[in-house]
Amino acid sequence: MLDYKLVQACAEVIHFGSFEKAARALGLTQSAVSQRVKLLEERLGQPLIVRAKPIAATAAGQRLLAHYQSVRLLEQDLGSELPDVQPESGFGQVTLAVNADSLATWFVDVPKRLFEQLGLLVHLVVDDESLNHQSLQEGNVVGAVSLRDTPIQGCRVRPLGFMRYFMVVSPEFQERYFKDGVTADALRACPAVNFSEHDELQNQFLHQYFGLNPGEFPAHTVPSSQGFVTLAEQGVAYAVVEQHQAEAGLRTGKLVRPCPFEIDRPLYWHHKTINSRLLDQANEIVLAEARRHLPEIGM
């Protein structure tokens, strides 16, 4: 039988990647949290965390975290029927993985609705949509936006819609670098802006339409969706951005499209197959927001 005070301590250490932060969240001393994790590891007979900076979960720790997330959701379900099992704060919590472009556009009202309608505190893991399913596989989240259309083991997948991307620049940038059009040679001679080293979309766009590979073009690195647009408006880079993020700049003339090429990225919602009314409601909120903003896949 698992001692859930020990499991909670271990889960919070994994979640925060730090004993100190976990201790603050739990209202305990760092020593007490460390002792609980050590005791749980001794009882299970295997290490649950890798003691590095930041702290990471072992394979067993990931399975334990996934189990703990499921148990928390089921406890929160009971809270509406059995007040004695309500969380001490009066709120439940849910951890989801989302890409930055979605968070800046169609997903923006999801945390608000989850809190107002379901009383959930929302913890978001923000990463590239090509990587988010890993967070779900590892048990760090219970739902994730992903490019993957096949279900992960223990999960269900549902279509969200697609996001459309195209290149934008300032009029001054276009006059300086793309006066004779956008070509591979022109792109090698001016800076792009990448979200991160894993910016798969920008790489796909430049390879698909111009035959360029990563490393063949100079680039800023700005891990912010809005930062993409800002750098383009400032005239210091070209950016491949989601259409809704470019609307205001295109409307005011701060941005122009230097070429007609587009990429449509289908998005899918993966979530744990837990028999939880609360998770079902959270999933429906995510899907409803996607339907409000995103074109259907296949349109």
pLDDT at 82: 41
pLDDT at 85: 41
pLDDT at 88: 52
CA dist., res. 107 & res. 293, Å (int): 9
Give one DSSP letter per residue of 142-161, joined into a string.
SEEEES--SPPTTEEEEEEE
pLDDT at 226: 83
Asked if the peptide bond before residue 54 counts as cis, ω within 30 degrees of 0, the response is yes
Summary mean pLDDT of the chain: 87
Question: How does pLDDT run across 52-87, given as a tens digit for each residue?
Answer: 888 888 888 877 877 777 777 777 766 555 444 445
What ranges do the domains of the chain cover?
Answer: 1-64, 164-264
Report residue 253 as tokens.
Answer: 């003339």
pLDDT at 135: 75
pLDDT at 130: 64
pLDDT at 5: 87
CATH code 1.10.10.10 for 1-64: yes
Helices (H), the chain: 4-16, 19-26, 30-44, 59-79, 100-104, 110-118, 132-137, 171-177, 184-188, 200-210, 225-233, 243-252, 277-293
pLDDT at 78: 62
pLDDT at 272: 86
CA dist., res. 206 & res. 289, Å (int): 30
pLDDT at 90: 59
Which residues of the chain are under the pLDDT cut of 50? 82-86
Question: How does pLDDT run across 236-264, given as a tens digit for each residue?
Answer: 999 999 999 999 999 999 999 999 999 99
CA dist., res. 282 & res. 90, Å (int): 18
Q: Which fold has domain 164-264?
A: D-Maltodextrin-Binding Protein; domain 2 (3.40.190)
